[in-house]
Amino acid sequence: MEAMGLSADFWRGKRVLITGHTGFKGSWLTLWLQSLGAQVSGFSLDPSTEPSLYELARVHEGINDQRGDLRDLGALLEIIADTEPEIVLHLAAQPLVREGYRDPLGTYSSNVMGTLNLLEAIRQVGCVRACVLVTTDKVYANKEWLWPYREDEALGGHDPYSSSKACCELLAQSYAASFFPADKYAEHGLALATARAGNVLGGGDFAPERLIPDVLKAWTADEPVTLRYPQAVRPWQHALEPLAGYLQLAAGLYEQGPEYAGAWNFGPGEADMCSVGEVVELLASRWPQARGLRIEKSELHEAGLLRLDSSRARQVLGWQPRWTLQQCLTQTLDWHLAWQNGDDMRNVTLGQLNLYRGAL
């Protein structure tokens, strides 16, 4: 039996807007909601990589696919007015730490002003009942301590990407307090939450300067893998894990309103918070053409230790990770090998989605 908020009984016929639906996580989420019978509209830029999961899995089939920039308030107002979504899942962003260093202005503009425009469009149109803004585990003022961060820890962000996402958290808090306060829910009818997830893995991620895509690209080319921070510890999880949390959270907001508002962590269990080097070793055990490692130190700051406390999501939503890190890596490699083999990647992707849903 599927957990709360993950059944077709809830999602069938729901009008849902996903921003960033052409991205890696957005593509998985769009396919999932399609499979649950939701009426999905997507608003995004074109896919940022070639190839992309969006194109390979033909994610556009059966949805209202709209292209545009979050920095265009008029376009957001138009699509929300036209589609009248009941639920909004905001995933669109510039998602890369190192790209934030190269283009801080573009990163802040996309992430902060894009989120502000979305919130303002939702406020002006007035049809949305539940909104989940996806940020990142990097919104915390990371002190490199050993215990996991909880939702009420201080926000921060050393680099432009992390800082921009912390700004989005502050925007959400401000709009919730100013325009969607809990004590006036009967008047405005909107419940707003933010979701903070760890480092995600999965088939179809072709983004540059991400660990798994870089590893598979190097080994496919019969080259060693270059690592910048092999000792860095991250909260690894398959993309479907936090996506399940977003769906459960959205359903909770829709049905229970302000009780589910605020910030939520979605991270793996303690056993799956391991180092970059350990992840590569696990991958190498499954990849016969693995060609070793190179260490290339970077002068750009990246956090060395980051852990999340997901107690709120576990206790209130009933959410919990279903796949171990080894299972995540197995599914990621199987997807990649199927792609290399020329398989129908929509069928492969839906097959992995159904396998995950069977574990719920």
Domains of the chain by residue range:
8-198+238-267+307-323+344-354
Q: Per the CATH hierarchy, to which homologous superfamily does domain 8-198+238-267+307-323+344-354 belong? A: NAD(P)-binding Rossmann-like Domain (3.40.50.720)
SS (H, E, C) 144-198: CCCCCECCCCCECCCCHHHHHHHHHHHHHHHHHHHCCCHHHHHHHCCEEEEEEEC
Greatest mean pLDDT among 36-50, 207-221, 278-292 lies in 36-50
Q: With a cut of 70, say whether residue 74 has pLDDT above it.
A: yes
Q: With a cut of 50, say whether residue 1 has pLDDT above it.
A: no
Q: With a cut of 50, say whether residue 60 has pLDDT above it.
A: yes
Active-site residue set: 161
pTM over 0.85: yes
Give the C-alpha separation, 91 to 288, whole Å.
Answer: 35
**pLDDT greater at residue 212 or residue 69:** 69
Mean pLDDT rounded to a whole number for the chain: 91
For residue 173, what are its two tokens?
Answer: 């808090």
Q: With a cut of 50, say whether residue 301 has pLDDT above it.
A: no
DSSP 226-283: EES-TT-EEE-EETHHHHHHHHHHHHHHHHHGGGG-EEEEE---GGGEEEHHHHHHHH
Rounded mean pLDDT, 308-335: 94
| Residues 275-300 pLDDT 10s | 888 888 888 888 766 666 665 555 55
For residue 315, what are its two tokens?
Answer: 């206790």
Rounded mean pLDDT, 152-175: 96
For residue 306, what are its two tokens?
Answer: 């980051």
Q: What is the pLDDT of residue 270?
A: 75
Q: Would you call 331 helix, strand, or coil by DSSP?
A: helix
Rounded mean pLDDT, 263-285: 85
Distant-in-sequence, close-in-space partners of 262: CB < 8 Å, separation ≥ 6 = 151, 193, 194
Q: What is the pLDDT of residue 293?
A: 61
